[in-house]
Each structure stands twice: as C-alpha cells, then as structure tokens.
Amino acid sequence: MEYKKLQSDNSPLLLTKYTFNTLLEAIVRHFKKSHAIENYKDFQLYGFGNYDSEKPNLKNDLELVLKDYVNGKYLYNKQRELVSGKPIVKISREYRDLFFNYLGYTGVYDFIEKEISSKDEHLKQITLLQNLSQNEEFYYVCYYYGEDKKMTKGQLTIHNNWKTFELTFVYLNSQNEPVFYDLFGTIKQENNFVHFDCKHFIQNKKIQGSKMIFYVGMASYSERPILIGAYSSFDKYDHSIAGKLMLVQMNSQQEMEQESKSVHFHPAICQELIKFRHIVPSRVPIQLSKISPQSPYASIFAKIPNDYKAIFSLENEQIELDFRIQKYHYNILSNIEDIELENDRVTIAGKGQILELHFDITGIFRLLKASLYIKNYELLSENKAGTGTFSGVDINNNPVSGAVRLLNIND
C-alpha cells in the first residue's frame, strides 16, 4: 500500500472514544494482516519496553510512514487513557495524520467518512472537530505541596472555552517508577471565583475527586497567567486533605509537559506552597476522649485561656508583654495599645507538660517574633507562674533567645 504524504498542521486532534477505538482496531487489524501475525504481546505489538526491534512492530511501521521517530508507547498510552475513563482522546499535532496515513487515508475526515457508519457517532466526531477549530485550549502547570511532604506538579489542560479540563499528576512508586493519576471534570465560574469539580475512575467506576477553587476577579481567564487557590480532596493514603495550590500558564502543550516533568521548582513557588497542607487522618473515634493522641490532655488545654504577662530576659534587660488567650478560640491578643500579635498559635506538648506559644509582633517592641516554651505544671499551680525559654527575632532582625517567665494575671 502506498501512503500519502502527511499534511502540516500545528493543532492537536480530538477524537471521540468511539472514533479512536475504531481507529485503533483498524490499525491493529492492518498490522496483523500485513505481517501475517495472530497473537502478540502489547510491548511487541506497539514497540516499547523490552520489544525485539528485529521483529514486526507498529513503531517501525509508523516510522516508515512518518520518516521520523515515533514513540512506540503513544498509542498504548492513549488506549489506557480511555480505559481510565477519559471520554476524548487528544492526538498531538506531530501524529495527527500519521495513523490515518498508515491505513491509507488522507486524514481524519477521510477516515470518518469511510469507517464511521453510525450516524450518531459520525455527528459527534464532526461536531468535536468543528468545535476544536473554534475553541482555544489553555495549558497550565499545577503546583502543590503533596504526599510524602514533597512539592508536586501536574499537567492541566483547559478545553471548551473553560468548560471542561483534564489534570494529570505523576508520582513515583516504591520502585521509583512513574505512576500517573488522571482527573477530569467541569469548570464553573461564579462571582470572582472559578470552581473545578474533579472526577476520576477506579475499576471503571466514576467517583468524586478533588474540589479546587481559584480567585480570578472580573478579568478574563487569559489575563490571569497565575492563579492561586485551595483544594480539598483525599490522598493516596486515604486521608482527607486540604491545602493551597497554584496554576502557572504555559505557552504550549510542549512547554507544559517539559515543565511538569522537570524535577526543579522555582523558589518563589516553593516559598508560597511548602507546608500549606492539612491532613485529617482516617479514623472513626467512638468517644471524644479518643479523637486523637492529644485528646487525653484536653482538660489541661481548657485551662490555658487567661490574661498573661510575659517577662523576657534579653541582654540583661527584662521586657514585658501583656496579652490574653481567648477562651474556646485560643487566639493570642495583645493587651497593649499599639501592639498587635499575628500568626499566633497555641499548642501543648510533652504529654501536656509544655505550653507552646508562637506569634509575630507588630508595633513598638524589642521583639518582632517570639516562640515561648513554658512549664505547664508550674503555670497551672497555685503560684500561677511558669518558667521556660524563648527564641525569636529582635527589632534589628537578629536571632535571640533566653529565659522567659509567664504570669497568669487574672484578677
């Protein structure tokens, strides 16, 4: 059979599930007939992995048509995409005519007219091709602080004028082999936010995936090259999770794929995302005292809210800071005019024996940031005074540390 020369086109090609299955069946049927082959392993059929290049394989056949390198696993991966639940297969611009030329057709329209006999499927494919010429696709790399406390990247492709999307994350398993996790879904814009509703398939069943929301304002999407938002989902360990994530727009699919596969991360992205991940362990407690390992110390935690005076020993001086810890809410609030406490956190450690207080200080004060570690058993005694140590940053941006006393000054 003589093959026609490939036509030059810079756009990808979208095929419905039915059209791609028909195309793949025709390719395999033509290959087996041409080489008088019946049964073949997938890796030898497509030409990847430990295949024998001296034996017939589709990779070699297709390279004779393209007169260039062909990824032997390309068709195999596309077939697996359909198995995972994707309703549409995207053929890259390099291969958009190759598979049809291999069968002797000039292109996709020639193939559709002669091979797609179902009127409904014929109409679906033609409509998809017409919409492709009208709808621009957008490519983003998705960044977030993911499983195993590592930065993670994903490939996000926006279709149909911001109505649908595909998102693929790549993880490494225990053998350091790539494992692909595919999501797809719909996009909805409300007020100043855009919402992504993700789905994915497990054992041929479509289940709910993550939810993502980004602020876009009133401008069009194309004017927002960077989107920052939040997600809620479950991780590969079946924990409920939530966190912060970022989308950075790429100029092309190729640029998106190259960046997503790179092991390097821009420091500005790392700075924004590291540790922004909340994990809720999968457990179902039957009583309040067993919610978590911290539950037995809840009675101690309940005694913490009060008014306090912290006395810091700093360079042979003692500086004082009055503040209060709110009951139930555990916010640390300044009792001194013109001083604000921010980024505050209250925890207990050491089986309830140590009280930890962390906060930033805005206003006229010798410290800009402080972390206090107080002996709880002293603070909760009749003396109402606990000793401990602190570390922090002073007004000259120098790291400092020293002794600290915390007095309960409730009347």
Residues 191 and 119 occupy one common structural domain: no
Report yes or no on 8 lying in a domain: no
Mean pLDDT of the region 131-143? 78
Question: Considering only CA atoms, which of 310, 314, 311 is closest in space to residue 324?
Answer: 310
In 84-209, which residue ranges form alpha helices assigned H by DSSP? 98-102, 108-115, 119-134
- Token output for 371: 């972390």
- Token output for 80: 């697996």
Mean pLDDT of the region 372-400? 96
Report yes or no on 285 lying in a domain: no
pLDDT of residue 205: 67
Q: 260-288 burial by CB neighbour count: b if 16+ within 10 A, else e?
A: beeeebeeebeeebeeebeeeeeeeeeee
Residues 245 and 302 occupy one common structural domain: no
**C-alpha pair distances (Å), 207 with each of 201, 230, 233, 234:** 6, 20, 12, 12
- Token output for 47: 């030409």
pLDDT tens sequence across 317-333: 999 999 999 999 999 99
pLDDT higher than threshold 60 for residue 4: no
pLDDT of residue 35: 93
Report yes or no on 153 lying in a domain: yes
Report yes or no on 29 lying in a domain: yes
Mean pLDDT of the region 195-212? 81
pLDDT of residue 191: 81
Q: Do residues 396 and 389 make contact, with C-beta atoms less than 8 angstroms apart?
A: no
Single residue among 78, 100, 133 that ends a domain in this structure: 133
pLDDT band at residue 7 using 50, 70 and 90 as cut-offs: very low
Report yes or no on 317 lying in a domain: yes
Report yes or no on 202 lying in a domain: yes
Backbone φ and ψ of 352, nearest 5°: 85, 0
Instruction: Tell me the one-letter amino acid at 165.
Output: F
pLDDT of residue 132: 59
Residues 121 and 246 occupy one common structural domain: no
Q: Do residues 146 and 279 make contact, with C-beta atoms less than 8 angstroms apart?
A: no
Residues 129 and 142 occupy one common structural domain: no
Report yes or no on 2 lying in a domain: no
pLDDT of residue 105: 94
Residues 69 and 83 occupy one common structural domain: yes
- Token output for 128: 């998809």
pLDDT tens sequence across 27-57: 999 999 999 988 888 999 999 999 999 999 9
Q: Which domain holds residue 234?
A: 138-280
What total number of domains does the chain contain?
3
pLDDT of residue 6: 34
pLDDT higher than threshold 90 for residue 3: no
pLDDT of residue 238: 85
Tokens 């030409």 found at: 47
Which range, of 124-128, 351-355, 370-374, averages the lowest pLDDT?
124-128
Residues 389 and 303 occupy one common structural domain: yes
pLDDT higher than threshold 80 for residue 223: no
What torsion, rounded to 10 degrees, do the Cα atoms 256, 260, 264, 269 define? 80
Residues 361 and 250 occupy one common structural domain: no
CA distance 381 to 360: 28
pLDDT tens sequence across 154-175: 999 998 778 899 999 877 667 7
Single residue among 133, 152, 185 that ends a domain in this structure: 133
pLDDT of residue 24: 94
Residues 219 and 192 occupy one common structural domain: yes
Residues 53 and 153 occupy one common structural domain: no
Single residue among 133, 150, 168 that ends a domain in this structure: 133
pLDDT band at residue 263 using 50, 70 and 90 as cut-offs: confident
Mean pLDDT of the region 385-394? 97
pLDDT higher than threshold 70 for residue 204: no
Query: What CATH number is attached to the domain comprising 159?
Result: 2.40.128.120
Residues 40 and 85 occupy one common structural domain: yes
pLDDT higher than threshold 60 for residue 5: no
pLDDT higher than threshold 70 for residue 229: yes
Report yes or no on 339 lying in a domain: yes
pLDDT band at residue 84 using 50, 70 and 90 as cut-offs: confident
Residues 274 and 184 occupy one common structural domain: yes
Question: Considering only CA atoms, which of 369, 364, 387, 380 is closest in space to residue 310?
Answer: 387
Q: Do residues 125 and 112 make contact, with C-beta atoms less than 8 angstroms apart?
A: yes
Residues 170 and 249 occupy one common structural domain: yes
pLDDT tens sequence across 94-108: 888 999 999 999 999
